[in-house]
Amino acid sequence: TGLVTLDSGFVNTASCESKITYIDGAEGILRYRGYPIDELANNSRFLEVAYLLIYGDLPDMDTYAAVVRRIKRHRLLHEDFKAFFTAFPSNGHPMAILQAGISGLATYYQHTLDPKDPYQIELSTVLLMAKVPTMISYISRRAQGLPLMYPDSSLQYIEDFIRMTFGMPYANHDVDPILTDALNKLLILHADHEQNCSTSTVRMVGSSEANIYASVAAGVGALSGPLHGGANEAVLRMLSKIQESDMTVQDFVNKVKNKEDGVRLMGFGHRVYKSYDPRASIAKQSAHDVLEKLGKSNEQLDIAMELEEIALKDDYFIERNLYPNVDFYTGLIYKAMGFPEEMFTPLFALGRLPGWIAQYREMITDPATKIGRPRQVYTGETERHWIPRSER
């Protein structure tokens, strides 16, 4: 009751207080728990950053070792669960399977579903961090008809994820540190981004006291859209389309400006950043480094750079403050690493996982949390009365 304010897309409405991530969109600043994103991306390991987001401080040596050990112990998926991955068409989108798989964890770990029990929340945090990479690698293997690989607890988190995704059971697979370092950096860049669409979804679902798996699975659904996490896949499709057509980069930019067929420059624009996305500058540098180190052809990187150069000088993009966002360069790196395009958004999900968990936990322990229940402005019919079908 009382005055209801309409704010489509929540452009001006804060839904919560949070101590996790700070963004200054005008200045292009992003900090996790106070630490600038570039310091974390250039120096940390992903699990260290996950710990920082979830618990509030960077772990010391002993704490970090204990966290790594604990996650290692839980990396296996239940053996019965393997059959689940064969129940979908092998060309089904990995995000759809991942969403279903994460909500399915609630059936195997029923002793971890109570959001009010700190012990259960602690265990579900570890289970999610441990099992989601195994699940993503299973989804990728199954899509290619390759044997599923068990986790190897002698390897580090990201190293083992890469081995499970690309290795073979009969071969010793030395994981190239170029790949591990690049993925480590990208996962850190994605680890949290305050109240974006998927995180708000996690909080919204969790606000009904739904379990953490149901809430994170809903976040995966939100992330799959091309305006959110699905943009990294859409960028690569856009670059391939430009590459394969006889269109010049300028022709494509003109199409975007004229809003022909609703075409957008994917990987550009952001609700909060009205200057360069700080994650995009790190990803751009990383794209150059990784492609060079792996000796990959970089025609698509050249197209991306030309797109950026043209767009940043063009009034359409200047007037609307449209800059490259994190998704603009990441797909190029994932592709150079050997991931198929459909796997790009699941990689984003893996990166965002600690953020979702941290936000769910903050929401559930905040005494100010209420069930999410927006109001609406009704624009339908006023009262009218039923008449028999024969008289309509």
Binding site for ligand CMC (CB under 6 A): 9, 196, 227-229, 231, 256, 264-271, 320, 322, 325-327
Complex with ligand CMC: residue 151 or 354, whichever CB lies closer: 354
CA distances from 132 to 10, 171, 259, 302, 366 (A): 30, 24, 38, 34, 26
Active site residue 270: yes
Complex with ligand CMC: residue 68 or 263, whichever CB lies closer: 263
CB of 273 to ligand CMC, least distance (A): 8
The span from the CA of 39 to the CA of 20, in Å, is: 16
**Which residue lies nearest ligand CMC, judged by its C-beta?**
269
Using CB atoms within 10 A of its CB, is residue 54 exposed (0-12), middle (13-18) or buried (19+)? buried
CB of 308 to ligand CMC, least distance (A): 12
Other Cβ atoms less than 10 A from the Cβ of 178: the count is 15
Complex with ligand CMC: residue 40 or 256, whichever CB lies closer: 256
CB of 130 to ligand CMC, least distance (A): 25
| List 160, 192, 277, 327, catalytic entry | 327
Complex with ligand CMC: residue 75 or 190, whichever CB lies closer: 190
CB of 352 to ligand CMC, least distance (A): 9
CB of 376 to ligand CMC, least distance (A): 19
CA distances from 150 to 74, 112, 135, 137, 160 (A): 12, 23, 10, 10, 9
For residue 324, the cross-strand partners are 268
Strands 35-36 and 29-32: antiparallel
Phi, psi of 201 (to 5 degrees): -65, -45
H-helix segments, the chain: 37-43, 46-55, 61-73, 81-85, 94-108, 118-143, 157-166, 177-190, 197-206, 212-223, 231-244, 249-257, 278-293, 299-313, 315-319, 327-337, 344-365
Residue 53 token pair = 């987001």
| List 93, 192, 270, 277, catalytic entry | 270
Residue 224 neighbours by CB under 8 Å, 6+ apart: 93, 95, 96, 99, 230, 345
The answer to whether the CB of 151 falls within 8 A of the CB of 160 is yes
Complex with ligand CMC: residue 20 or 105, whichever CB lies closer: 20
Complex with ligand CMC: residue 74 or 271, whichever CB lies closer: 271
CB of 222 to ligand CMC, least distance (A): 10
Q: Report, as residue numbers or ranges, the catalytic residues.
A: 270, 327
